[in-house]
Amino acid sequence: MINEQLAQISNLALVVTIVLYVLALIGFGADLASSTQRRSDARLADRDREEQEEARTLQPVAVGAADDGSGVTADAGGARPAAAGADAEGPNGQGAPSQGTMSAQRFAFVLSGAATVLHVLGVLTRALATQRVPWANMYEFATTSTAVVMLAFLVFSIRRTELRALGTFVVGPVLLVLLLAQTFWIVPAAELTPSLQNSHWIYIHIGVAIIATALSILGAVVAAMQLLQARHERALVERTADGEQSPEHWGRLGHVLDRLPSSTVLEALSFRIHSVAFVCWTFTLIFGAIWAREAWGRFWGWDPKEVWTFIIWVIYAAYLHARATGGFRGSRAAGFALAGFVAVVFNYTIVNTVINGLHSYSGL
Amino acid sequence: MSKDRTNDPTSPSSPGSAPAGGSSAESSWSSKPEVDGRRQVGAPALNLRGTLLFLWRQLTSMQTALILLMLLAIAAVPGSLYPQRSVNPALTEQFLAENGRWGKLLDTLGFFEVFSSPWFSAIYLLLFISLIGCIVPRLGVHLKQLRARPPRTPSRLTRFTGYTRIELAAAREGGSGAQQIDAQQIDDEQIIERARRSLRRSRYRTEVREEAGGRSVSAERGLLRETGNLAFHIALVGVLICIAGGQLTSYRGQITVIEGDGFANSLTQYDSFESGAWFDETSMPDFRFTLEDFRATYVKPGEAGTVGEPRSFEADVQVNTPGEDQVDKTIQVNKPLHVQGASMYLLGNGYAPEVTVKDPEGKVVAEGPVITVPMGDTGYTSQLVIKAPDARPKQTAVVGFFLPTGTIDEKGPHSLYPDAVDPQLALTVHQGDLGLDSGIPQNAYEVDLTSLTPVTGEDGNPVLIRLYPGQEYKLPDGTSVSFDGLRRYAAFDVAHNPFEHWILLSALVAVGGLVLSLFVPRRRVWVRVRTTADGTVLEVAGLARSDDPALEDDVRALASSLAEAQDGTPSAHETDPERPARNADHSSEGSAQ
């Protein structure tokens, strides 16, 4: 029944996927590392432009000198056309360092796209090899849900290019989960145990749970960046108020944050992701209850997995309420969202491997 | 509600902050009468009524709800970390035995019955009271709002989202003064009527109003958002009530049936049974069945997967329900048997070897299949206990193991594989007083060996009997044990909860309401046509009252479609002095804090 050849292809595809994600991560990292460079380039260009304008308006006599100066600036501006724009516009269009070469970010984005395609292929071949859904144990759940995370990230950022700067913070966790899956959770392709057979709820209940988990991961990334960004912005505002011309805060991290969308944009995005995630978690609970009633004769029995999914649901509900409560909006609400994510991680790792319950499908 | 007051763009104080305020406050999950999170604490007088009112306000406040939600989440945690009596009583007892005083303390505090403990109950009951206290007033407000007309068009639209101003070229040339005004008015009416129809098509509630120098249409959409929000919360109360109803009226029982045997649904037939306080025994459906065959398959050596892991369990049953024909059914995991008023689930299985025990006088003191209890290993090593109180001269107990694929090595007797490939029994025989006359109820699958003496052989060691099917063993004292055959048994749960369907229905209503309350944008749109000295001017603007990033585009699309319909050409006169600023605003819109 198990097609061993396909199962091996699936394993190989996922290993290559990991390698590609590593390269993509290096690309995204290099892009972020160049933030400081880009920032100072942009400021230089700005200063040059200002000087040039000053020279033009105030010193019409010194034509020759001004000409020299403008020649230099034109050069610099030409070499990095996007840099100056980026400073004003934020992270948009972090263009090529020079015409014809790929920027690190574009390279990383294309590479993570390719890796995601291979990732999805790896998941699909696993499904074909076993003739069933690719989410019957912890390893398969991890590989499938990370594929969903990557797909969601690509869908979000294919049009909103400013979100690509989040690449490091998405590919990083995905890579971490995949490495854990590949080293600790991997089990050979096998058929379903009886408790997972004969039920269409395995498609529905676990399918929704995978989407919910993937959205929780993405939401947590965005919420964490929102928190950092909000603190960063507050600090910058304070320093500007203190009279600093071009305020700096948190050094290199600050330069990276300068390129990310503002905390309000991130907050809106985080809310949108979390509200869909909350609906998915609600469905996970309801479908799980229906299945539990068919399989175990009761819709709810306080099995550890049930308890923790309930906890996740309650915390995300608290997040949505916090967002509407005076004094909790913004950063504090984001804290609730991150607490929800901690519960998701606990539910997936500790509950699966340490706590004994009816949902013992990790295969470990 | 105060929130409406603060966000109402028609109120003179707010237009400046309206777009931001509108989106943040209306993103709310609830429209509590809280504006900035601070409440007037201590305002009521110190009489009883005032104090109660104060407490009630505190309880129904959003902060309290938040705290209760987080407490609920935290309180549920120990329910997953400590064994729960309702889930696994044996494990709970083991934990108590291993942890002495610490275990006792936890037990007193309810850590082994978290979900029925006073503190857990207190949290969720307070939460639901707070919820009801919150939604009842909102329900009244919302019902009023559903009947109300869209609010008046604000006099200055410039500060609102997507504000677009278009000077209409039409109907301005020539003619006498009276005619011109006439044409102008028809013009107004046409545009406003067109706008109204277009908005109606997009499911806005509209209201056309005459104004000084023109007329306007005020449109509102998204009341479903609050409807959904209220439905969600009310349905949650419904879920809780239905669960309570189910607790009171449901029942659940465990039975064990050996192949060839039957079961009739009555209380006496159950191994164990629990039911709610209002459960009515006469409501149990009168059905009976015979277990014809039980099959199990396991991963064989050489197949993919872990050897010995189960692959399928199937129980063939013949079911008889009064007034209906006998039917053959196969019950599997995930495929329970549903009869009117009850469901039966296949939850366990094991072996029932047929064993005959004769006492030294040659009298048969035990005969037939014996249910053995699997010990939890993959090989299905199963414990066997036979009590023969009628044996003479002494009462006899036969204890040991049934091994589907047996071996005896340094680990003792155990089974290598769960299927009955090489079935055998490994037994010892004990004699003495079984203690059955003491009146204390005993577990049929256990026996206390301390008061019994094992039958020993010539070397003085207990005799270990190893039996294959068809074999008989005679002990030195004349007792004989024979292994006559092998059957399997299946364990079923029979359960019924009359409220199940209502719980599901409430949950689905809740999730439907949730989707509406999260994703239906609530917004207002205004279209105004005014004739000034310069000509006829069309103004369109909107106000988001929830996260609503599409509003600006929708408003502009409406404006240009109205302008196009009016003069047949794309509006060349569009002026939008604030557009760049608006755009910048818009990027942070949706959740402006």
Residues 69-108 of B with CB under 8 A from A: 69-70, 72-73, 76-77, 79-81, 84, 86-87
Q: What is the pLDDT of residues B234-275, one digit of tens each?
A: 999 999 999 999 999 999 999 999 999 999 998 888 999 999
Q: What is the pLDDT of residue B568?
A: 56
Q: What is the pLDDT of residue B378?
A: 86
| A200 and A120 fall within a common domain | no
Indicate the residue among A104, A136, A168 that finishes a domain.
Answer: A136
| A128 and A233 fall within a common domain | no
Q: Is residue A269 domain-resident?
A: yes
Our CA angle for B87, B92, B93, nearest 5°, is 135
H helix or E strand, kind and range, residue B61: none
The two beta strands, B452-454 and B465-467, are unpaired
| A241 and A310 fall within a common domain | yes
**Is A326 close to B519, i.e. CB distance below 8 A?**
no
How big is chain B, counted in residues? 593
**Is B310 close to A194, i.e. CB distance below 8 A?**
yes
Q: Is residue A329 domain-resident?
A: yes
Q: Is residue A291 domain-resident?
A: yes
Number of domains chain A contains:
2
| A343 and A213 fall within a common domain | yes
Q: Is residue A361 domain-resident?
A: no
Residues 11-40 of A with CB under 8 A from B: none
And the tokens for B487?
């059957």
Question: A262 with A230: CB under 8 angstroms?
Answer: no
Burial environment of residue B23 by CB neighbours within 10 A (0 to 12, 13 to 18, 19 or more): buried
A307 → closest Cβ in B38, B79, B588: B79
Indicate the residue among A136, A157, A176 that finishes a domain.
Answer: A136
Q: Is residue A175 domain-resident?
A: no
| A232 and A339 fall within a common domain | yes
The set of residues, in sequence order, having a beta carbon less than 8 Å from that of A194 and lying 6+ positions away, is B310, B311, B312, B313, B332, B333, B334
And the tokens for A85?
């724009």
Indicate the residue among A91, A107, A136 that finishes a domain.
Answer: A136
Q: Is residue A346 domain-resident?
A: yes
Largest Cα–Cα separation, chain A: 93
Q: Is residue A344 domain-resident?
A: yes
And the tokens for B389?
């109180």
Find the residue in B nearest to A271 (Cα).
Answer: B591
The structure tokens 């979390």 sit at A274
Per-residue tens of pLDDT for chain A, all 364 residues: 688 899 999 999 999 999 999 999 999 989 888 877 777 787 788 888 877 777 766 655 444 444 444 433 333 333 333 333 333 333 444 444 444 567 888 999 999 999 999 999 999 999 999 999 999 999 999 999 999 999 999 998 888 888 888 899 999 999 999 999 999 999 888 888 888 888 899 999 999 999 999 999 999 999 999 999 999 999 988 888 887 777 777 877 888 888 888 999 999 999 999 999 999 999 999 999 999 999 998 999 999 999 999 999 999 999 999 998 878 888 999 999 999 999 999 999 999 888 888 887 777 7
Q: Is the pLDDT of residue B532 over 60?
A: yes
What's the mean pLDDT when you consider all of chain B?
A: 83
Residues 15-34 of B with CB under 8 A from A: 24-25, 27-30, 32, 34
**Cα distance between residue B115 and residue A104, in whole Å:** 53
**Is A302 close to B84, i.e. CB distance below 8 A?**
yes
| A115 and A203 fall within a common domain | no
**Cα distance between residue B593 and residue B587, in whole Å:** 13
Q: How confident is the model at residue B403 (pLDDT cuts 50, 70, 90)?
A: very high
Q: What is the pLDDT of residue B16?
A: 36
| A111 and A213 fall within a common domain | no
Q: What is the pLDDT of residue A91?
A: 41
And the tokens for B464?
């270990």
Q: How confident is the model at residue B589 (pLDDT cuts 50, 70, 90)?
A: very low
Asked whether this complex has an ipTM greater than 0.90, the answer is no
Q: What is the pLDDT of residue A103?
A: 84
**Is A327 close to B504, i.e. CB distance below 8 A?**
no
H helix or E strand, kind and range, residue B27: none
Is residue A100 within 8 angstroms of chain B, CB to CB? no
Helix, strand, or coil here: B32?
A: coil
Q: Is residue A339 domain-resident?
A: yes
- Residue B550 DSSP label: T
Q: How far apart are the CA of B408 and the nearest CA of chain A, in angstroms?
A: 28
Q: How far apart are the CA of B305 and the nearest CA of chain A, in angstroms?
A: 5
**Is A198 close to B332, i.e. CB distance below 8 A?**
yes
Which structural domain range is residue A227 located in? Answer: 192-353
The set of residues, in sequence order, having a beta carbon less than 8 Å from that of B222 and lying 6+ positions away, is B520, B521, B522, B523, B545, B546
| A102 and A220 fall within a common domain | no
Q: Is the pLDDT of residue B430 over 80?
A: yes
Is residue B115 within 8 angstroms of chain A, CB to CB? yes
Give the number of other CB atoms < 10 A from CB of residue B144.
9
| A124 and A219 fall within a common domain | no
| A92 and A3 fall within a common domain | yes
